[in-house]
Chain A
Amino acid sequence: MLNVQIRKQFHSNGAQPFVLDAAASFAPGFTVLFGPSGAGKSTLLDCIAGLQRPDSGEIRLGEKVFFDAASNLSLPPQRRELAYVFQSLALFPHLSVEQNIRYGLDKLPVSEQTERTSGIAKAFRIENFLSRRPAELSGGEKQRVALARALVTSPRLLLLDEPLTGLDSALRRSILEDLRAWNEANRIPILYVTHNREEVDAIGERVITLVNGRVQETGAPRAVLDAPRSIELAHAAGFENVLPAIVVEHRPADGVMRVSLDHAACEIEIPLGDAAPGSEVRVAIRAGDILVATEPPHFLSARNILPGTIESRETRGTMVALRVKAGATFQVHVTPGAVRALDLSPGLLVWLVIKTHSCHLVR
């Protein structure tokens, strides 16, 4: 179990200094560290690794004290027995793949170095290019080498800072599969920083969200990311619509409350939450959770049906983003097929259909 309780202030020339003030425990297995960029995720990992020194607090891995401000103790990174894969991977460009992997093993007998290197190379499927330099590897191969170099040292803690950024999802899944297999055999705490929702779902044991240097929520990925409780997190978790709202009335019998969106432009129903009538809140809705109809829909269970006009249309790869003015302005994602079938184009009168449970209360 890794226990972290630290505070570190960064003095900048800007008005507000950034403060990392984080307290969390990390059990063996994967914990995803999720949050918008600039939330302090990499700084937190650097502090745990000993590359940056917190102003105060304590970091312990089991019995081993990494950092304790009270007794002015800070173990150097060399003695923390952890592995850290940076976002940039930081492979040594002048060393071969094999030399990179052996780098952290120099205190072991040569025979064991060789044994461990070939073992990890097999596990991460890089045994065929051990003699190459990092510049001669593809993105996915580099990422595998970086993981192998980190894990071959048999760390007691693993820090991963967006190690799979920039890979296509098939490659990402295959590397995650190898990583998970490794973790089955070596149960240590793994802190995994990512922005990528797909990775969160694939790894997903626990999520800790970090916003503005503070731990905001801890829990299962679905519970935390499908109902974000802060606006920064809502954006980071991929909620395209985060609208200002005022609670109009509670309807406990129906399990809902009515809120007026965007300065009384329109009213919708959202699940009953702990916000009193009259209070200002925000409502987060994924653009992909909104249906579009070209005629007034009837006989639907969905409670929110808003007439509106398409303001703009933009094709983004396999997805089309519509901006619809329906009182408030909504981002709506549809498929190119739907655009063709319904002839969705700017100026068209449409009805937006939003399920009550697709609307999330955000603070």
Chain B
Amino acid sequence: MNTEALFLSLRLAATVSILLLALALPLAYGLAFSTWRGKFLLESVVALPLVLPPTVLGFYALVAMGPRGPLGKIWQMVFGHPLAFTFAGLVLASMLYSLPFAVQPLVASFESLDHRLLDASAVLGADRARTFLRIILPLAWPGVLTALVLSFAHTLGEFGVVLMVGGNLPGITRTVSIDIYDRVQALDYTAAHQTALLLLLISFVVLSIVYGVNRRVWSPWPAK
């Protein structure tokens, strides 16, 4: 089994899910609570990666990150090296690709909160930040965990976007799904089997956590 590819994938998935959570929390807050009329446009943009073929997404990401793309130029200016075909480029593209998997569970859990709790918090003098930290986040934690786990799992298994923006550089951008593809191409089915089975197990465990939490199997608060 190619442990290098596996660890690269795990590192990528962990980095992406944590960075994505930081991005998705304010985005989901806005989508759940704002009364802005144009909100549906933002909702559509967030959901785009769900329907776009990963190659389309990867293609645009590659163009943007290339040496002549806007993102690539800025990156080159700030860090002094190109963005495409690097781990950082992979992280950026993967965040875009997994965005809906982080945002949508958060929006759903924010929206299902009893709004009277937020009203009560406001009347008791708490500003938005305090209400968010003390009320919204603790009560929406299954949504937060779901967002983390789903974006982790989704990033772990991505293929098309990685191939487009990352290529296939061992230790840098050769992730586990690309490794499996390579093995199959090389007719090394045993190695492909081993890695594929491991990926299957990881995905199953991760999804079981999500569904278990959402059925409140391990809820730390007693049922209402």
Contact of A107 with B by CB under 8 A: yes
Cα A76 to Cα B126 in complex, Å, equals: 11
CB of A75 to closest CB in B, whole Å: 12
Q: In the complex, what distance in Å separates the CA atom of A133 from the CA atom of B224? A: 10
Residues of chain B contacted by A82 (CB below 8 angstroms): 123
Query: Quick one: closest B residue to A135, CB to CB?
Result: B222
Interchain CB contact under 8 A, A78 and B125: yes
CB contact list, B124-168 vs A, under 8 A: 124-127, 130, 134-135, 138-139
Q: Are B119 and A93 touching (Cβ within 8 A)? A: no
Question: Which of A92, A107, A133, A136 contacts B120, CB < 8 Å?
Answer: A92
**Beta-carbon contact of A104 and B221 below 8 Å:** no
Assess whether A330 is interfacial by the CB under 8 Å rule. Answer: no
Contacts of A51 in B (CB 8 A): 119, 122-123
Known: A94-B139, A153-B125. A135 touches B120 (CB 8 A): no
Chain B at the A interface: SS class = helix
Asked whether any CB of chain B lies closer than 8 Å to the CB of A295, the reply is: no
Q: In whole Å, how far is B207's beta carbon from the nearest beta carbon of chain A?
A: 26
**Docked complex Cα distance between A361 and B119 (Å):** 41
B214 within 8 A of A: no
Question: Is there an interface contact between B122 and A78, defined as CB atoms closer than 8 Å?
Answer: yes
What is the distance, in angstroms, from A23's C-beta to the closest C-beta of chain B?
23
Q: Closest CB-CB distance, A185 to chain B, in whole Å?
A: 21
- Contacts A51-B122, A92-B135 known; A135 to B130 CB distance under 8 Å? no
Q: How large is the interface on A (under 10, 10 to 19, 20 to 34, 35 or more residues)?
A: 20 to 34
Within 8 A of A (CB), among B89-143: 114, 116-117, 119-127, 130, 134-135, 138-139
**Contact residues in B for A84 (Cβ distance below 8 Å):** 119-120, 123
Known contacts A92-B135, A135-B221; is-contact A78 B127 (Cβ 8 Å):
yes
Residue of B nearest to A136 (CB): B222
**A86: Cβ under 8 A from any B Cβ:** yes
Contact mask for chain A residues 82-106; partner B; CB cutoff 8 A; 1 contact, 0 none: 1110101010111000000001101
Assembled-state Cα–Cα distance A77/B122 (Å): 6
Complex interface: chain A residues within 8 A of B223 (CB): 135
Residue A149 interfacial (CB < 8 Å)? yes
CB distance from B69 to the nearest CB of A (A): 44
The docked-state distance in angstroms from the alpha carbon of A106 to that of B135 is 14
Residues of A within 8 Å of B126, CB to CB, are 78, 103-104, 106
Measured CA separation A15–B117 after assembly (Å) = 32
- Are B116's CB and A86's CB within 8 A? yes
With a cutoff of 8 Å between Cβ atoms, the chain A residues found around residue B124 in the complex are: 83, 103-104, 149, 153
Give me 8 A-to-B residue pairs in the complex whose CB atoms sit less than 8 angstroms apart, sorted by A's number: A49-B119, A78-B122, A78-B127, A90-B120, A92-B135, A103-B121, A104-B124, A133-B221
Chain A residue contacts of B116, Cβ below 8 A? 86, 88, 90
Q: Does the CB pair B120–A93 fall under 8 Å?
A: no
The answer to whether B117 touches A90, judged by C-beta atoms less than 8 angstroms apart, is: yes
Select B125's contact among A90, A92, A107, beta carbons within 8 Å: A107
CB distance from B145 to the nearest CB of A (A): 15
Whether the pair B119, A90 counts as a contact (CB closer than 8 A) is yes
Distance to closest chain A CB from B135 (angstroms): 6
Q: Which chain B residue lies CB-closest to A49?
A: B123
**Contact call A103/B122, Cβ cutoff below 8 A:** no
A81–chain B nearest beta-carbon distance, Å: 8
Expressed in whole angstroms, the minimum distance between the Cβ of A255 and any Cβ of chain B is: 51
**Chain A residues within an 8 Å CB radius of B127:** 78
- Compute how far the CA of A188 lies from the CA of B79 in the bound complex, rounded to whole angstroms: 63
Interface residues of A in 248-287 (CB under 8 A from B): none
* Whole-angstrom CA separation of A354 from B101 in the bound complex: 70
What separation, in Å, do the CA atoms of A51 and B119 have in the docked complex?
7
Q: How far is the CB of B70 from chain A (nearest CB, A)?
A: 40
Cα distance, A185 to B221, chains bound together (Å): 37
Cα A133 to Cα B134 in complex, Å, equals 15
Complex Cα spacing A136 to B222, Å? 8
Collect the chain B residues with CB atoms within 8 Å of residue A77's CB. Answer: 119, 122-123
Q: Contact check, A103 vs B123: say whether CB atoms are below 8 A apart.
A: no
- CB pair B117 A83 closer than 8 Å: no
Residue of A nearest to B119 (CB): A51
With both beta carbons as reference points, the residue of chain A lying nearest to B222 in the complex is identified as: A135
Residues of A within 8 A of B224 (CB): 93, 135
**Residues of chain A within 8 A of B114, CB atoms compared:** 88, 90
Q: How far is the CB of A346 from chain B (nearest CB, A)?
A: 45
Bound-complex Cα distance A90 to B127 (A): 17
